[in-house]
Amino acid sequence: MFILTNCGGGKSTPKGVQKVYFPDWWMVQDDPNYVHTFGIGEKVTQNSSYDAAKANAMLEAAQYVESYVKGMVKNYEEEAGVNNPQVLAVVTKVVKNVSKAKFSNTMVTKQEAIIIDTDNGKRYKTFVRVSIPKDTINKNLVNKIKNEEALYNQFKASQAFQDLEKEMEKYDE
């Protein structure tokens, strides 16, 4: 007669559960003068993995800026009680233009690549942090608003625009 027993009875980890790796700097906003966005790319070559990660980080940057601009415009609309279709159309155009803008001084400030072994061979997974100076985002917004004269004339008197210009003055000092 054979008897098998199982001793130890400690906690068991569910089968197939693994922690996903991210660098320790991932999703950390550690500099108040910059907006950091993050991207991941996984490809067969290291260069294409890096390019994909950077492109994903830049896409995230555009989405962040679009949300930021919409927030500024919403503050203006609420404050001014604007319900003018012409002004709202111009606002929409400004939001789209700013979010599509190419940012000067944008740089990759952190990156890390790991090699993953798969059944089909090695793949590179790259993590990238792109940093965009906040003053660049604000300057793009101010310039786009100023270029739309109808919006600018109404917007410049608002508290939201004054707040934005004060923010810009901080960066000019």
Q: Tokens 């798969």 belong to which residue?
A: 118
Domains of the chain, by residue range, sit at: 34-172
| pTM more than 0.85 | no
The predicted pLDDT at position 156 comes to 62
**pLDDT confidence of residue 161:** 65
Per-residue pLDDT of the chain in tens (173 residues, 90 and over written 9)? 555 455 555 555 567 888 999 999 999 999 999 989 999 999 999 999 999 999 999 888 878 877 776 676 666 666 656 555 655 666 666 666 665 666 778 899 999 999 999 998 999 999 999 998 888 877 777 777 666 666 666 666 666 666 666 666 665 55
**Buried/exposed code over 36-68 (b: 16+ C-beta within 10 A; e: otherwise):** bbbbebebeebeebbebbbebbbebbbebbeeb
Evaluate whether the domain defined by 34-172 bears CATH number 3.10.28.20. Answer: yes
User: For position 6, what pLDDT does the model report?
Assistant: 53
Q: What is the dihedral of CA 43, 48, 50, 52, to 10 degrees?
A: -80
Task: Say which residue the tokens 């270029």 belong to.
Answer: 147
Token pair for residue 166? 């004060």
Give the pLDDT of residue 80: 59
Closest to 66 measured CA to CA, from 39, 37, 31: 37
Contact 128, 38 (CB under 8 A): yes
In terms of Cα–Cα distance, which of 98, 89, 87 is closest to 143? 98
In this prediction, residue 62 carries a pLDDT of 79
pLDDT value of residue 15: 77
Q: How far apart, in whole angstroms, are the C-alpha atoms of residue 58 and residue 98? A: 14
* Res 159: pLDDT: 62
